[in-house]
Structures are given as structure tokens and as C-alpha cells.
Amino acid sequence: MRRKLFQGKRSYSSHAKPTLSSILNTLKHAGVGFDVASSGELGQFYLLACWGKDMIMTGPAKPERLLRFALENKVGAFVIENTAQLMCLQELAKDLWIPTRRVTKIAATVEWRGKKCCRWVNKTTAFWHGSANPARDIMPKVQLSLLGFQVFQWGNILSIYKLRHVWERSMSTCKSLTEDFRVLDVGSGFGIPYAAEASLAWEEVNSLVNELKDAYNIKEFWLEMGRYLTGPCGIYVTSVVDCKETDGKKFSY
């Protein structure tokens, strides 16, 4: 993994994965941070002496008790998914006298040659950047320190030109909201070939990252590598523990 990544912050997303403590220890000693979404994940990391400053908390539907637990354990940053989560975190940070950094999650529509090239966060998100523009409206009311933006998208991008187009649109969207941020998390989207397509060349991706960081004056560029890193390593298989049938469709868990 180190050979593929440029110098910078690295985080491992533990969401809903059967992650063994030995794997987490290996990542911790390699200097990799962690992306957590639940109290169970947080608890597992603290048992391994992973510190909050090396973690970011992501995902919607965070109850107050979970946000409080994360704050008390000094989680480094939070990705804010909606206004209710933002206001709750803001009140807790004030009550606990804890300085907190946030990464605001927004959406943007990106087209490539007349077609939508990515599936983006649904535009009904509280921070949708569009005609209603609630992201711009709410920012003056926010008291937490803004670390940056997450413009998350899903896709299987294999073209460096399409990747440039998506990232430039993401950057211009965020810069239109404020110039005062240091981090842009562009989400995932790094593709791997499932058929005969050519794969993305990491040298080109790395060069593009550094070029756009300088052009848009962004201090940190967060990439969610996902399958790009793990795809070539094969697959893992877990046991089926339950089966369910609803409306004639069968589901395995």
C-alpha cells in the first residue's frame, strides 16, 4: 500500500468489515489512521491503543450518545452529514469545552460528454449545493472549525481525463462556498478493470493530485482508494449466518 500512496494522511475504513485485531495492529504500526462509524468500532480501536486524533468519524444517523462518546475520546474530525448532526455536535462541543473540526459533506452534479459520469450523493442531502443552496445558508451559523469538504461519489472511473473533470468540478463547487478550508475529500470512484479495460496508472493519478492541489491552493487532498488498492489482492469470504425471504426474494446475511 505504501508503494501506491503519495506522502500524506492515510485512513482505513473499518465500516461493517470483519476486521481482525491483527490487521488493525499492522495498519496502526504503518502509520495509517482509521475511519470509524460506530461505538463498537471506536471501542475496538481504543483496546489496541489507537488514539482519537488519528481517527475520523463518518456516516449519518449518529445519536447524541455516540457523538458525545467520540468527542470525549478526542476523535480527530467528523464528517457532517446533515444539519441535525451538525447542531448536536456543536452543542456537545460547547458543553464539553472541546475544540472540534468538521468536514462538511455536500453533493454536486458532474457530467462528462453530456452524460452524468458518477453517482453522487442524492441531491436531497441537507448540504446539497444547488439552487436552494442550504450549504451556503448554514455556514454563517456554524461555530465549529471547518476543516474541509467531502464531495463523495461512487463510480468506477478508469479515465484520468474523467477523473480530472470530476475533481475540478468538486474543487470549484467547494471554493464557491468558501475559500477558507484546507481539506478536500473527493471520495471514492477509483476504478479497476472488470473486463478488458486499461487500469488507472497511479503515476498519472499522483501527478494530477499534486497539480490540482497547487492550482486550487488546497493543503490536503483526501482520497478514498477502496477497491483500487484491494481489488488486485483477491476476495475474502464470510459465512452466511441467516437467510430471509421477502416478497419472493431471498436474502443472505
Q: Which residue has the higher pLDDT, 237 or 244?
A: 244
Q: Identify any residues that bridge with 154 across adjacent strands, giving them in sequence order.
A: 119
Mean pLDDT check: name the lowest of 11-15, 113-117, 150-154: 113-117
Name the more confident of 239 and 140: 239
- Per the structure, the count of domains in the chain is 1
pLDDT in tens, 13-40: 665 455 567 777 777 787 777 888 888 8
Q: What average pLDDT does the segment 62-81 reach?
A: 85
Query: Is residue 2 in a domain?
Result: no
Is 6 a member of any domain?
Answer: no
Per-residue confidence (pLDDT) for residue 10, from 0 to 100 = 64
Each residue's pLDDT tens digit, 168-211: 888 888 888 888 888 888 877 788 887 778 888 888 988 998 99
Query: Does residue 150 sit within a domain?
Result: yes
pLDDT on residue 132: 41
Burial class (CB in 10 A: 0-12, 13-18, 19+), 144: middle
Angstrom distance (rounded) from CA 216 to CA 187: 18
> Parallel, antiparallel, or unpaired: how do β-strands 119-120 and 153-154 relate?
antiparallel
Residue 159 in any domain: the answer is yes
Residue 5 domain-assigned (yes or no): no
Question: Is residue 1 a part of any domain in this protein?
Answer: no
**Residues 121-138: pLDDT tens digits?**
444 455 554 444 556 666
User: Is the torsion defined by CA of 135, 140, 141, 142 positive or negative?
Assistant: positive
The domain that holds 182 is classified in CATH as 3.20.20.10
Q: Look at residue 26 and tell me if it is in a domain.
A: yes
Give the range of the structural domain holding residue 43, as residue numbers without chain letter: 11-252
Instruction: Using the structure block, give the residue that is written with the C-alpha cell 491503543.
Output: 49
